Amino acid sequence: MPEVRNCRRCKKIFMFVTGPQLCDACKKLEEEEFERVRSFLKEFPGATIQEVARETEVPTQQIYKYLKEGRLEVAENSPIALQCENCGVRVKSGRFCINCSKKLANEMMNAGRSLKDSLDKEYRNEEDERRGLRYMHGIRKDEYK
Ligand SMILES: [Zn+2]
Ligand SMILES: [Zn+2]
Protein backbone atom coordinates (compact mmCIF):
# COMPACT_ATOMS: atom_id res chain seq x y z
CA MET A 1 0.00 0.00 0.00
CA PRO A 2 1.59 3.32 -1.04
CA GLU A 3 1.38 6.07 1.52
CA VAL A 4 1.97 9.81 1.54
CA ARG A 5 5.36 10.86 2.94
CA ASN A 6 7.69 13.83 2.89
CA CYS A 7 10.81 13.45 0.75
CA ARG A 8 13.90 13.26 2.99
CA ARG A 9 15.75 15.63 0.67
CA CYS A 10 13.39 18.26 -0.76
CA LYS A 11 10.56 17.81 1.82
CA LYS A 12 7.97 17.56 -0.96
CA ILE A 13 5.08 15.19 -0.37
CA PHE A 14 5.18 12.07 -2.53
CA MET A 15 3.69 8.58 -2.71
CA PHE A 16 6.03 6.29 -0.81
CA VAL A 17 6.02 2.60 -1.72
CA THR A 18 9.40 1.12 -0.74
CA GLY A 19 13.16 1.88 -0.64
CA PRO A 20 14.72 5.19 0.42
CA GLN A 21 12.35 7.92 1.53
CA LEU A 22 12.91 10.07 -1.54
CA CYS A 23 10.68 11.42 -4.29
CA ASP A 24 11.42 10.25 -7.85
CA ALA A 25 13.31 13.43 -8.77
CA CYS A 26 15.59 13.22 -5.73
CA LYS A 27 16.11 9.49 -6.16
CA LYS A 28 17.42 10.19 -9.64
CA LEU A 29 19.64 13.02 -8.35
CA GLU A 30 21.17 10.79 -5.68
CA GLU A 31 21.86 8.07 -8.24
CA GLU A 32 23.64 10.62 -10.43
CA GLU A 33 25.68 11.91 -7.49
CA PHE A 34 26.76 8.41 -6.54
CA GLU A 35 27.75 7.71 -10.14
CA ARG A 36 29.79 10.95 -10.26
CA VAL A 37 31.68 10.07 -7.07
CA ARG A 38 32.29 6.50 -8.19
CA SER A 39 33.65 7.41 -11.60
CA PHE A 40 35.75 10.27 -10.20
CA LEU A 41 37.42 7.96 -7.68
CA LYS A 42 38.05 5.45 -10.44
CA GLU A 43 39.82 8.08 -12.49
CA PHE A 44 41.62 9.76 -9.56
CA PRO A 45 42.15 7.10 -6.88
CA GLY A 46 44.63 9.39 -5.09
CA ALA A 47 42.15 12.23 -4.56
CA THR A 48 41.38 13.47 -1.05
CA ILE A 49 37.80 13.57 0.19
CA GLN A 50 37.82 17.39 -0.18
CA GLU A 51 38.90 17.09 -3.81
CA VAL A 52 36.22 14.53 -4.53
CA ALA A 53 33.58 16.70 -2.87
CA ARG A 54 34.72 19.79 -4.79
CA GLU A 55 34.88 18.09 -8.18
CA THR A 56 31.66 16.11 -7.88
CA GLU A 57 29.73 18.72 -5.86
CA VAL A 58 28.68 15.98 -3.48
CA PRO A 59 29.08 16.81 0.24
CA THR A 60 31.83 14.90 2.09
CA GLN A 61 29.22 13.59 4.54
CA GLN A 62 27.41 11.93 1.67
CA ILE A 63 30.64 10.37 0.37
CA TYR A 64 31.41 8.95 3.82
CA LYS A 65 27.90 7.55 3.89
CA TYR A 66 28.49 5.68 0.61
CA LEU A 67 31.70 4.25 2.08
CA LYS A 68 30.09 3.20 5.34
CA GLU A 69 27.22 1.58 3.50
CA GLY A 70 29.79 -0.39 1.52
CA ARG A 71 28.48 0.96 -1.79
CA LEU A 72 31.80 2.66 -2.48
CA GLU A 73 35.38 1.52 -1.98
CA VAL A 74 38.57 3.57 -2.00
CA ALA A 75 41.89 2.41 -3.42
CA GLU A 76 44.60 0.88 -1.21
CA ASN A 77 46.72 4.06 -1.37
CA SER A 78 43.83 6.53 -1.19
CA PRO A 79 44.25 9.39 1.30
CA ILE A 80 40.57 8.99 2.17
CA ALA A 81 40.68 7.39 5.58
CA LEU A 82 37.83 5.41 6.99
CA GLN A 83 38.23 3.78 10.37
CA CYS A 84 36.86 0.59 11.82
CA GLU A 85 34.23 1.68 14.35
CA ASN A 86 35.41 -1.01 16.74
CA CYS A 87 39.24 -0.99 16.71
CA GLY A 88 40.09 2.13 14.67
CA VAL A 89 42.13 0.32 12.02
CA ARG A 90 42.00 1.72 8.46
CA VAL A 91 39.24 0.20 6.29
CA LYS A 92 38.44 0.67 2.61
CA SER A 93 34.70 0.29 2.87
CA GLY A 94 31.97 -0.46 5.39
CA ARG A 95 31.89 0.17 9.14
CA PHE A 96 34.23 -2.53 10.50
CA CYS A 97 37.52 -4.19 9.52
CA ILE A 98 37.49 -7.85 8.49
CA ASN A 99 38.58 -9.06 11.94
CA CYS A 100 35.94 -7.08 13.77
CA SER A 101 33.22 -8.06 11.27
CA LYS A 102 34.00 -11.71 11.99
CA LYS A 103 34.12 -11.14 15.73
CA LEU A 104 30.86 -9.21 15.70
CA ALA A 105 29.15 -11.85 13.57
CA ASN A 106 30.17 -14.48 16.11
CA GLU A 107 28.95 -12.38 19.02
CA MET A 108 25.67 -11.83 17.26
CA MET A 109 25.21 -15.55 16.75
CA ASN A 110 25.91 -16.14 20.43
CA ALA A 111 23.52 -13.39 21.42
CA GLY A 112 20.93 -15.28 19.37
CA ARG A 113 17.57 -15.10 21.03
CA SER A 114 18.08 -11.84 22.91
CA LEU A 115 19.08 -10.08 19.70
CA LYS A 116 15.94 -11.27 17.97
CA ASP A 117 13.89 -9.93 20.86
CA SER A 118 15.47 -6.50 20.65
CA LEU A 119 14.99 -6.44 16.88
CA ASP A 120 11.33 -7.25 17.29
CA LYS A 121 11.05 -4.43 19.77
CA GLU A 122 12.79 -2.02 17.42
CA TYR A 123 10.40 -2.96 14.66
CA ARG A 124 7.44 -2.28 16.88
CA ASN A 125 8.81 1.16 17.75
CA GLU A 126 9.18 1.95 14.07
CA GLU A 127 5.57 0.97 13.49
CA ASP A 128 4.47 3.32 16.26
CA GLU A 129 6.53 6.12 14.76
CA ARG A 130 4.92 5.61 11.37
CA ARG A 131 1.48 5.72 12.90
CA GLY A 132 2.43 8.98 14.62
CA LEU A 133 3.64 10.46 11.34
CA ARG A 134 0.47 9.55 9.54
CA TYR A 135 -1.45 11.27 12.30
CA MET A 136 0.59 14.42 11.78
CA HIS A 137 -0.04 14.36 8.03
CA GLY A 138 -3.73 14.12 8.80
CA ILE A 139 -3.62 17.28 10.85
CA ARG A 140 -1.64 19.14 8.24
CA LYS A 141 -4.09 18.21 5.51
CA ASP A 142 -6.98 19.47 7.61
CA GLU A 143 -5.26 22.81 8.06
CA TYR A 144 -4.99 23.32 4.29
CA LYS A 145 -8.70 22.76 3.76
ZN1 LIG B 1 12.55 15.05 -3.23
ZN1 LIG C 1 38.33 -3.49 13.63
Average pLDDT in the 121-145 region? 56
CB 5 within 8 A of CB 16: yes
Which parts of the chain are beta strand (E)?
3-6, 13-16, 82-83, 90-91
Q: What is the pTM of this model?
A: 0.64
Ligand 1 centroid distance, CA of 27 (Å): 7
CB 42 within 8 A of CB 20: no
**What confidence category does residue 123 fall into, taking pLDDT thresholds of 50, 70 and 90?**
low
C-alpha distance from residue 126 to each of 36, 78, 121, 131 (Å): 33, 38, 9, 9
As a whole number of Å, the CA-based R_g of the chain is: 20
Query: Which ligand neighbours the alpha carbon of 96 most closely?
Result: 2
Kindly list the protein residues that place their beta carbon closer than 5 angstroms to ligand 1, a single-atom ion. Answer: 7, 9-10, 23, 26
pLDDT of residue 141: 47
Ligand 1 centroid distance, CA of 39 (Å): 24
Ligand 1 centroid distance, CA of 20 (Å): 11
Average pLDDT in the 117-141 region? 60
Per DSSP, 2 falls in state -
Q: What is the pLDDT of residues 20-39, one digit of tens each?
A: 899 999 999 999 999 999 99
Q: What phi and psi values does residue 128 have, to the nearest 5 degrees? A: -60, -45
